[in-house]
A and B are shown apart, each in its own frame.
Chain A
Amino acid sequence: MSNPTPSPETSSAEALVAEHAEYKYGFVTEIEQETLPPGLDEGTIRHISAMKREPSWLTEWRLAAYRRWLEMETPVWPKVSYPPIDYQASSYYSAPKKKGEGPKSLDEVDPELLKTFEKLGIPLHERAALAGIAVDAVFDSVSVATTFKEKLASMGVLFCSFSEAVQNHPELVRRYLGSVVPVSDNYYAALNSAVFTDGSFVYVPKGVRCPMELSTYFRINAQNTGQFERTLIIADEGAYVSYLEGCTAPKRDENQLHAAVVELIALDRAQIKYSTVQNWYPGDKDGKGGIYNFVTKRGKCAGVDSRISWTQVETGSSITWKYPSCILLGDGSVGEFYSVALTNHRQQADTGTKMIHLGRNTRSTIISKGISAGHGQNTYRGLVQIQPGAKGARNYSQCDSLLIGDLCGAHTFPYLEVKTDDAQVEHEASTSKIGEDQIHYCRQRGLSEEDAVNLIVNGFCKQVFKELPMEFAVEAQKLLAVSLEGSVG
C-alpha cells in the first residue's frame, strides 16, 4: 500500500505522479556572498539595521517585534507537520558581495547575477526585458536590480526595493509599515518584522493607472539562510496596479525558511491585483529538503469602493502556510481570492483566506482549487467574517479538491461568522478523484496519459487561471504540468 513504485496494479493516474518531477530551477549560483554567521539575537537585528543604514525608529520597531516574537509560540493549528525549527542554526542575512558602492545602474550589476535571472527567464536588461513588466529582482536578502524604475517614476509611480524606500520615502514607509499586519499578528509575521532584509515597495499616486505589470522575483541562493522579505504596496485614491511575484530556490537537502509579510493598502476607489506563482523548491519525492513557506499576506481595502484581488498558484515549497486576506473596511469595497494549490509527493499545504467584512455593502469572492497527488496533503482553511456594521455584505465561496491517487489527502475548514441579519453568504465545496474515465477518454483520442492529466487539471483550475495576467497564466499551466510530471506506468 505504501510502495510508491508503480506496478501494473496501481491505477494509471497514480503511476503517473509517482515519479519525481525534475525541478529545473534547482541550480546554485557561484558568487561571493556576504553572510552573517548563524544565530539570532538583538545584536543580529541591530547589525542588519545598521548595514541598511536604517533610521532609529525602524531599528526600534524591529527590536520591539523581536521581543514580542520571543514571547510567542509556533502556531500548531495548521494541518502540517514538521520538526521544530532551530532559529539559531540559520543565518539572517546573506547578500552578493558588493563591489565598491553597489550598483548604480543595471550595467554595474554583477554579470553572474544577471545570468542567474536570465536563466530563470527574468532578463533584467530593459531592452531584453519582458514587454510591459517591470521587475524587482531579490537575491537572498537583497534587491539586486529594479527595471523600468525611471519610466515609472515619470508617472509618479514609486517602484523600488524596500531598503531604498526606507531611505527615499521614509514618511510613506513609516505611515503604512505594520498598518495591515501588526508585528504581533502571528509568530512568523513577528519574526519577519524583526529580521526582514528587503523586498519591494510600490506607491501608485492618486488617479494613476500603473501602465505596466509590476513584479518581484524572489530567488533564494545561499545555504542555511532564511529569506524574510517585506512587501508594501499602496494604491492611492483611484489608482490601479497589477503586481506579480514569482520565486524559486536551489535544490538542497536541508529545509530553508521563507517567512514573508506582504501588506496592501487600497484607498478610495483604488484597485490592487496581486498575483503569485509560487515555485519554491518542493523537496524531493521522499520529502527531503524544500522550502518552508510561512507567509502572511493581507490587504486593507481602506477606502470606499476599493478592491483587492489575490490570485495565487502554489506549486512549490515542502510546506505552505499562507492566507492572503482582505480587510474590507471601506463601504462598497471588494475582496477576491483565487487560488490553485498543488501538493505532490510529501508536500503539505494549509492555505486559504480571510475576508473580514467591516464596511457596508462589502463583497467578497473565494475560489479555491486544491490538487493533491502522491502523498500530498492539501488543506483549505478560510474565514468569512461579517462584522455587525457590515450591512448588506455578501460572500461567495467555492472550494474544490481534486485527488490523484489513493495516498493523498484533501481537507477543508471553512469558518463563517456572521454578525448581521442581512448578509448573503454562500459556500460550495466539492471533492473528486481525477477520473480514470476522463483519462481513458483523452487517451482514446490520442493524448498521452501525462497530457491527459495535465489537460484535466488545467480545466479544473481554469476559473483561477483566467484571473492571472496572460503571460503568468501560460507560465502557471506549464508549471502545473512540470509539478505533475512523471513517467507513465
Chain B
Amino acid sequence: MTRPALFEIRDLKARVPEAEILHGLSLTIGPGEVHAIMGPNGSGKSTLAHVLTGREDYEIVGGSVRFAGADLLAMNVEERARAGVFLSFQYPIEIPGVATAYFLRAALNAVRKSKGLPEIDAMDFLTLAKEKAKLVQMDQRFLSRALNEGFSGGEKKRNEIFQMAVLEPRFAILDETDSGLDVDALRAVSNGVNALRSPERSFLVITHYHRLLEHIRPDFVHVLMKGRIVKSGGPELALELDRRGYQWVEEELAGTAGASR
C-alpha cells in the first residue's frame, strides 16, 4: 500500500533578481522518510531550503509544491511554519534581550493557536522545554539566555534541534546542520534528530558531507547540481560522493546526454 506523499515538489523554478537558481526541481517525500540532498557549492541547496520555507528574497517562476495536500507556495512564511514546516537554519539568528524560553513559548503558542489549541502557560512550557533540552543534551541554562546571543556555533545548532523538538513539525529541513560542529556536538544533534524520527515526520537533510549521514541514516540520497536533482539513490550514494566527489556525476550526466542524442 502506498501512502500519499507528504511533500511533493514538481518542476520548481526559482530565481533571485540576478539569476535563476532552481531550474525545474522535482522531489517527492513520503511520511516518515528521510531524504538527503548533497551537491557542490552553488548548486542551489540552501536556495531550496529558503524557497520551501517562504523566504521573500526568492521569486518562484514555475512549478508547484504540495505539502500534506495543500498548496505550500500560496502560504506565507508563518503559515508554512504553523502547518508544520521547520527549518534548522544554517546560520541561526541572534535576538538580543529575548530569552530562548520566552521566544520558543511565543512560537509554540502561535502554532497552537493556529490549530485552535489553548495556549501553554509558562510553567507547563518550562517542564516541556526541560524535557526536550535533554534530548539534545542542551544545558537548561540556555533557556534563560537571550536567543543565540553569545552561543557558540555548536550551541546554536543544538538550539535549532531543541526548537524542533519543542515545535514537533511534520517536516523538517536541516540546512547544513553539521557545518561547524565538533564530533560531540554532531553526535548530540544527530541523536536529537533520530529521537524525533517517526512514521509521520519527514526530514530533508542538506549536507556536504557523508559524516552527518552516518549518524542520521537517510532513506534516499539525491544529488543537486545546477538547480536540478540529477541523481538519486540509497545511502550508499552518499558514501560514493564522499569518496569520489561530484566530478563523476557530472561526467556521467554528460555521457547520458550524449547517448540520448
Contact = CB atoms under 8 A, between A and B. Distances in A.
B97 A458 contact: yes
Contacts of B146: 459
A449 B53 CA distance: 15
Contacts of B93: 435, 437-438, 440-441
A441 B97 contact: no
B110 interface: yes
Contacts of A456: 95, 98
Give the most central of B53, B81, B97, B98: most A CB within 10 Å. Answer: B97
Contact of A446 (B82, B94, B95, B98): B82
B97 A444 contact: no
B118 to A, nearest CB: 16
Interface in B92-133: 92-98, 103-104, 106-108, 110-111, 114
A455 B98 contact: yes
Interface string B44-61: 000000000111100000
A446 B163 contact: no
A212 to B, nearest CB: 27
B89 interface: yes
Nearest to B109: A446
A444 B95 contact: no
Contacts of A12: 56
A441 B82 contact: no
Given A451-B110, A459-B146, A443 B81 contact: yes
Interface string A423-442: 00000000000010110111
Nearest to B146: A459
A445 interface: yes
A448 interface: yes
A451 B114 CA distance: 14
Contacts of A437: 93
B242 interface: no
Given A455-B103, A459-B146, A447 B98 contact: no
Interface residues of B, number: 30
Contacts of A444: 53-54, 77-78, 81, 86-87, 89
A456 B106 CA distance: 12
Interface string B145-180: 010000000000000000100010000000000000
Contacts of B114: 446
B98 A458 contact: yes
Interface string A92-120: 00000000000000000000000000000
Given A446-B111, A451-B106, A459 B77 contact: no
Interface string B80-92: 0110001101001
Contacts of B98: 455-456, 458-459, 462
Size bracket of the A interface:
20 to 34
A396 interface: no
B106 A455 contact: yes
Nearest to B97: A459
A402 to B, nearest CB: 10
Contact of B97 (A443, A449, A461): A461
Nearest to B110: A446
- Which of A446, A459, A463 has the most chain B CB atoms closer than 10 A to its own CB? A446
A448 B163 CA distance: 17
B243 to A, nearest CB: 35
A446 B92 contact: no
Given A455-B103, A456-B95, A446 B81 contact: yes
B176 to A, nearest CB: 16
A460 B87 CA distance: 25
Interface of B: 53-56, 76-78, 81-82, 86-87, 89, 92-98, 103-104, 106-108, 110-111, 114, 146, 163, 167
Given A12-B56, A446-B82, A446-B114, 9 more contacts: A440-B55, A441-B92, A445-B103, A446-B108, A447-B78, A447-B106, A449-B78, A459-B98, A463-B97
27 contacts: A12-B56, A437-B93, A440-B55, A441-B93, A442-B95, A443-B54, A443-B76, A443-B78, A443-B81, A444-B53, A444-B86, A444-B89, A445-B81, A445-B104, A445-B107, A446-B78, A446-B110, A447-B106, A451-B106, A455-B95, A455-B98, A455-B103, A456-B95, A456-B98, A459-B96, A459-B97, A463-B97
Interface of A: 12, 435, 437-438, 440-449, 451, 455-456, 458-463
